[in-house]
Amino acid sequence: MTQIYFDALFVLSMLLAGVYVFMWHKHFDMTFTIVFMFVPVCCLGYAMYSRSRSLGEAVMAMKISYVGGCYLQYFITMAIFKLCEIKVSRWVNRAVFLLCSMIYFSVLSIGYKDWFYKDISFDLHNSSGRLIRTYGPMHTVFVVILMLLFAASFGAIVYSYFRKRQVSRRVIFLLFLPDLISLLSYTVGKKVLKGEAPVPAAFVFAEVMYLLIAYKVSLYDVSDTVIDSMVRSGDTGFISFDLAKRYIGSNPAAQAIIPELSRLYVDAVIDSESPVGRRMDHWLESYRQDPKNSEFLLTVCDGEDGGDERIYTVAISDLYIDRRRRGYMVTLRDDTQKRRYIRLLDNYNEDLQNEVSEKTRHIVEMHDNLIMSLAVMVESRDNSTGGHIKRTSVGVRILIEEMVKAGAPGITEEFCHNMAKAAPMHDLGKIAVDDAVLRKPGRFTPEEFEKMKAHAAEGARVIHEILKKTDDEPFKVLAENVAHYHHERWDGSGYPEGLKGEEIPFEARIMAVADVYDALVSKRVYKERMSFEKADSIIMEGMGTQFDPSLEKYYVSARPRLEEYYSSIDC
């Protein structure tokens, strides 16, 4: 009966190993395969032991059965650590394996040395034989190592259950059962049943559990399932190279995308002279020099006319084998639809932006024309300053251009643009001056002049109201300053607020020079045109009193152009 029991366990272990081979997947962990290899060997040893009729046969059978005793729990523990995602350092792994091997070598010495068994004899009773043995020191080491492996595996299971949320609770439960039964078979079972019968049964039960675990793990291993799904989908290409940029291989999808791959020899170095080799060498070299350069675009034209264009995203990454960097992986992903959508969206955004820019330009032009029309309308009320807006605007532009040539500080492109737009607005405040004063043909009385001086502050108020909702805050501030302070004097004797020196905004100081110069060389109802020489003398005398002295050098360099301009017009 005992022989039938052990024979049945051996046959069952072989059948379970066959099932494992049938469902084997390349992503199964190596320890699983070793467990399914060792369990039938261990069961074979017990079956042979049950049929032994001499001491030699019994010892040989026992040596075979101890393959499981010495190694199975080690590989089971390693499998548990792997499934629980707990890393074990290589030196610990190797040290435990070497210790298990030393124990098994001591098992092989049975009959020759007393390391594992001190005394050994054989008893044949009722056609059933058994070994009578006295344990040696290495057997004690064997038991200690076995208990430590059980403790380590149970510790990993308990730790994962409470701390590892990314480990399946079903897998943890399936790991716990065979480990518990194996422990009970080694301890309680052998003492209660007075024999070896529980041990191979525990191994066979572990096979059943590990078949279920293997099935579950193939589903829970996200990395492997994603890769398999991508490979099977057929639209993602993979190309691998070693660190020396030698071609290792590629999948059919990659060869369909780049047909030249099917003509490459495995282990051949990339041919940088060919178009494909040059392209791949560029990808790998760019990534090697800077891992941030890991994505590229590949455009492939299908068909004779090249009309069917496909766009692939090329991703470069390191190729690892057993945690060691061994080469490069090139992934080709079809992004044609995404890229076409992005291109369509970019074109739409560009068209929309151009349309918005065009509409904005029209609005700005309308806004500027409205302000200019308002300025011209105000000027038309003043019968003594006809053309003043245009002339002072040209004068400001000439002064600024000379300042730009000389590299004057603070003269940015934005400042120049804003000054050109703000100059015509400097006298908008005259819209609030009474016609009797504004259109008076002679000089003002002190009372009339006080009314006229109000145009500076009023101009700033009008501009503030016109531009208060504009997004161009720098232009708004500059235009208000030009209108408000262009009659201020460097020595503080100007109006409307009597500002002095650099208290006067820079833009208003520039406007003041152009405004006064135009007043001097232009004909008014109360005076004739002044000669350029006399006007120049007045301007130069005013530097440091009426005008900012730092503007003198720019005015001097601009004077020939100012005289040329005023000579060409009738003012």
User: Could you give the CA distance from residue 140 to residue 103 in angstroms, rounded to a whole number?
Assistant: 10
Half-sphere exposure of 515 (CA within 13 A, CB side): 20
Q: For residue 175, what is the enclosing H or E element?
A: helix 169-184
**List of the chain residues with pLDDT < 70:** 1, 25-28, 125-129, 188-197, 215-234, 302-308, 322, 339, 343, 346, 349, 356-357, 360-386, 439, 441, 525-526, 570-571
Residues 218 and 228: their CA atoms lie apart, in Å, by 11
Interval 512-534: pLDDT, tens = 999 999 989 887 766 788 899 99
CB 296 within 8 A of CB 265: no
Residue 365: what pLDDT?
A: 66
pLDDT at 193: 46
CB 392 within 8 A of CB 448: no
DSSP element (H, E) containing 379: helix 336-381
Q: Got the DSSP string for 242-293?
A: ETT-BEEEE-HHHHHHSGGGGGSPTTPBP-TTSHHHHHHHHHHHHHHH-TT-
Name which of 329, 324, 253, 321 is nearest 287 in CA terms: 329
Q: What residues contact residue 423 under an 8 Å CB cut-off, 6+ apart? A: 389, 392, 393, 396, 397, 482, 511, 514
**What was the pLDDT predicted at 190?**
56
| Structural domains in the chain plus CATH codes | 2-220 (1.20.1070.10), 226-334 (3.30.450.20), 371-567 (1.10.3210.10)
Query: Closest Cα partner for 333 from 317, 357, 349, 350?
Result: 317
Token pair for residue 221?
Answer: 């291993």
**Do the strands 295-302 and 308-321 form a parallel or antiparallel pair, or are they unpaired?**
antiparallel
Task: Tell me the C-alpha to C-alpha distance, in Å, between residue 246 and each of 265, 272, 276.
Answer: 9, 12, 14
- Torsion of the alpha carbons at 218, 219, 220 and 223, rounded to the nearest 10: 70
pLDDT at residue 222, rounded to an integer: 44
User: What are residue 122's phi and psi, to 5 degrees?
Assistant: -125, 135
Q: Provide the pairing of β-strand 128-135 with 236-242.
A: unpaired
Please choose, from the candidates 520, 515, 518, 523, the residue with its C-alpha nearest in 3D space to the C-alpha of residue 384.
523
State the CB neighbour count (10 A cutoff) for residue 21.
10
